[in-house]
Amino acid sequence: MDVISLAVIGLLIVLSPGADLVLMMKNSLNAGRRAGLWTALGISLAIGVHIGYSLLGLSYLLTENLKLFNIIKYLGAAYLIYMGIKNIVTAKTSLAAPQNSKDNLHYFQYLYQGFLCNLLNPKTMLFFISLFSQLVSSSNNSWFFPLSYGAYIAVLHLLWFSSLAILLTYLPFKTRLSLLKTCLNRLCGGALIILGSLLAIRG
């Protein structure tokens, strides 16, 4: 594949809606901009992990060991369903972000959520395994181009989700959304449950 095609593929990966988008929206709307930015960072860091094991050859283990792959798939599905149920149960909580310094430590939980949400998604795993196996084979065992492309995808994820977090917490926009906060929380929770259920059911 040429550079332009790969660049377009990278953009499509980032823009395609999924669990990452729903989680980032939920955290941004419920806990504020910093929570959304931490979530975006967690998603981006997980992309780095996908790239790392694809380049190191661990992808072979995942593709050949069906039991291991299924364990990861069901863990990811259970996590999404858990987050969805939690969001529905707490749908009426305030959108205000924590104010005191001790609560700032809680922002790391959003990084952790974004990281796990992306890391435990087997569809993301399969995509990177298939794409990077082709990149490595076409690069004559040179890791420079695959690593550069991987960095490009990770940065795209960070920029895209960070931009959305900033947009969603822009005061005039957030004020309007706050009027629908309970409905939006339940919609996000329902979406996570559906995504998790589909992930568990489909092969």
Q: Could you state, in order of their start, the residue ranges of all structural domains in the chain?
A: 3-201
Tens of pLDDT, residue by residue over 85-125, are 877 777 665 444 444 444 555 788 999 999 998 988 877 87
Q: Which of 124-128, 131-135, 156-160, 173-177 has the highest mean pLDDT?
A: 156-160
The pLDDT-based confidence of 173 (bands split at 50, 70, 90) is low
Query: How many C-beta neighbours within 10 Å does residue 56 have?
Result: 10
* C-beta of residue 28 within 8 angstroms of C-beta of residue 169: yes
CB contact at 8 A, 143 and 55:
yes
Q: Which of 126, 149, 146, 128 is nearest to 136 (CA)?
A: 146
Name which of 120, 119, 149 is nearest 9 in CA terms.
149
pLDDT at 37: 94
CB 38 within 8 A of CB 110: yes
First to last CA, the chain: 28
Q: What is the mean pLDDT of the chain?
A: 77
Residue 14 CB neighbour total at 10 angstroms: 20
What are the CA-CA distances from residue 178 to residues 91, 112, 169, 184, 192 (Å)?
A: 12, 25, 10, 9, 20
